[in-house]
């Protein structure tokens, strides 16, 4: 494994996490901020990654969706407690293509697709009964067959502009490696723990 390539190192660590983490090895914290710099943090699921970036999906009218529309700068954090490792990634988030969003949406379980239509994510919910009624209404609207992707639901791709790989070590003398762009490649440096 090349330590000069953060993508190769991510692939190796992610493969280990998929084998050892009991739940959601693809869970990542997503930090966004409002235009005036107020931070917001939540867990989302990584749904794909390659050298073009790290992809997740959401309701575009949710808090994260509106913050991303106003400020594309984000940070991701993968924390795999069982491996005592974490990876931080910073970079801009850009919209995935409609074709990518359509393909991923079609792969979701039927009830998840119904939920995308029924939920006004991040807005006040008067009661669980209200949500159940909205789910039932969408089920009546699409009783069989395909459920199209709502116009307010899509994905984002985070393109890394900085990485940090952190490995727990005895006596809090952790191993930290950062990667920053260096032309067409990456420069790595160690940080004090």
The pLDDT score that the predictor gives to residue 2 is 52
pTM of the model: 0.94
Is 176 assigned a catalytic role? no
Is there a contact between 28 and 43 (Cβ–Cβ < 8 Å)? yes
3-state SS string for 137-149:
HHHHHCCCCCCCC
For 12, half-sphere exposure in the C-beta direction (CA atoms, 13 angstrom radius) is 10
| Tens digit of each residue's pLDDT (9 = 90 or more) over 100-138 | 999 999 999 999 999 999 999 999 999 999 999 999 999
How would you class 150 by CB atoms within 10 Å of its CB: exposed for 0-12, middle for 13-18, buried for 19 or more?
middle
| Tens digit of each residue's pLDDT (9 = 90 or more) over 140-152 | 999 999 999 999 9
Among residues 106, 109, 77, which one has the least CA distance to residue 91?
Answer: 77
Domains of the chain, earliest start first: 6-108+150-191 (2.30.110.10)
- Does pLDDT of 3 surpass 90? no
Q: Which of 84, 108, 113, 172 is catalytic?
A: 172
């Amino acid at each position: 494994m090349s330590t000069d390539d953060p993508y190769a190192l991510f692939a190796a660590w992610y493969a280990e996490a998929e084998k050892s983490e009991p739940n959601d090895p693809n869970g990542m914290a997503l930090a966004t901020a409002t235009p005036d710099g107020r931070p917001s943090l939540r867990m989302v699921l990584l749904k794909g990654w390659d050298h073009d970036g790290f992809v997740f999906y959401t309701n575009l009218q949710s808090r994260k969706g509106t913050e991303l529309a106003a400020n594309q700068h984000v940070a991701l954090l993968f924390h795999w407690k069982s491996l005592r490792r974490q990876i931080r990634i910073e970079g801009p988030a850009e919209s995935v293509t409609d074709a990518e969003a359509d393909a991923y949406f079609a792969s979701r379980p039927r009830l998840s697709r119904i939920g995308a239509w029924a939920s006004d994510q991040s807005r006040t919910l008067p009661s669980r009964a209200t949500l159940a009624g909205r789910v039932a209404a969408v089920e009546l609207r699409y009783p069989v067959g395909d459920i199209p992707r709502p116009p307010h639901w899509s994905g984002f791709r985070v393109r890394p502009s900085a990485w940090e790989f952190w490995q727990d070590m005895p006596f809090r003398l952790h191993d930290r490696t950062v990667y920053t762009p260096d032309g067409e490649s990456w420069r790595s440096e160690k940080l004090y723990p």
